[in-house]
Amino acid sequence: MSLGEFDLIERYFNRVHHAADQGPRRAVVPNGDDCAVIAPAAGMQLAVSTDTMVEGRHFLSTVDPARLGHKALAVNLSDLAACGAKPLAFTLALTLPRVDERFLAGFASGLLALADEHDCELVGGDTTAGPLAIGITVMGEVPPGQALLRSGAQPGDELWVSGWPGEARLALEAFRGTLKPPLSGEAFEAARLRMEQPSPRVALGLALRGLASSAIDVSDGLLGDLGHVLKRSRVGAAIALGALPVSPWLASRPVAEQQDNVLAGGDDYELLFTAPAARHAEVLAAGQAAGVPVHRIGLVQAEAGLRLLDGGWGAEGPVGWPTANRWTSFDHFRSA
Ligand code: ADP
Ligand code: MG
């Protein structure tokens, strides 16, 4: 006999009843009541964000359930990271076509393992029948006025990106069968892991508090997401194409494909941020402390718009011939 709604919540998502679990910590009233009541640390501000993932739109039906659980929370933690917020708690709105215990066990294990890694407590949710979709709302805390925003970039700031953007898109195109030449098996598995199990850059976001002047996480493509920062900050920027990080797996691909993936790949969950040039060494140290490489790719300028230069870093910033911007970012209501 299959589980009913309340049994499945109890078995997989109500951690208060898990013998191995320590029980509620942050929630004053935990998961299982009509509301969870949580107590943020005194004087802290609450940072809140929601992201939904829909089967066929954000993930393939064949994905491993544990990786899906991981990613559903990871994309939300990435938003907290971009704001420099420390994860506290989350809620889970789950829409399931049927009760599939193999799926639920895997999903819950991937989800709760990442939650534990970031000390982020599942405090409630909602469970309904329907096409498979996962909605998560995360809450984090940040000292008053210290949240990293999209609006703080200043002319003269350096533009940075963490990690290796472009790998998730490489895997997606491999799945779609569009890559010529095809990826090696080893490259495919590495890129696939980045697409299916991204690492939210939470530690980096925390290290950038009081250091970065603006930040955003790259979910829809680097240039598109940069556009949001430039618009909110009322500035422009120049990027040195030669300074873009190219992961070892991407490096073996044709140059045009490398650029497409890094600049407009999407699903990266890296942090794109700006910081005063005088604090260059501190940014490198922040990356090191967080265990994530950070790459300086451009310069914020007063003149509006984005300039792509095909060279590297000169005495005063990006140099080279201007390259037309042929990259657009992902938009659910515009793209196929
Ligand atoms: P109500 O009808 O009062 O909104 P529900 O019947 O939807 O309550 O949920 C009962 C309890 O189980 C609530 O505490 C809710 O937060 C929790 N819950 C429901 N679905 C989930 C889920 N997917 N993950 C975690 N907690 C859940
Ligand atoms: Mg409900």
Q: Which ligand is nearest to the CA of 34?
A: 1
pLDDT tens digits for range 23-33:
557 888 888 89
pTM: 0.94
pLDDT tens digits for range 39-66:
888 999 999 999 999 999 999 889 999 9
Average pLDDT (67-79) is: 98
DSSP state letters, 112-146: HHHHHHTT-EEEEEEEEESS-EEEEEEEEEE-TT-
Of the candidates 196, 198, 199, 93, the one whose C-alpha atom is nearest the C-alpha of residue 138 is 93
At 3 the pLDDT is 86
Determine the residue of 31, 38, 53, 92 to mutate for testing ligand 1's pocket, defined as the one with the most ligand atoms within 8 A of the Cβ atom: 31
29 or 334: whose pLDDT is higher?
29
pLDDT-derived band at 177 (thresholds 50, 70, 90) equals very high
Distance CA 275, CA 211 (A): 6
Distance CA 197, CA 72 (A): 9
Average pLDDT (95-102) is: 96
| Interior angle at CA 303, CA 301 and CA 309, nearest 5 | 65
Q: Which residues have CB less than 5 Å away from ligand 2 (the ion)?
A: 126
pLDDT tens digits for range 269-284:
999 999 999 999 999 9
Average pLDDT (159-187) is: 94
At 54 the pLDDT is 97
At 27 the pLDDT is 86
**Residue 235 pLDDT greater than 80, yes or no:** yes
| Ligand 1, atom 2: closest residue by C-alpha | 34
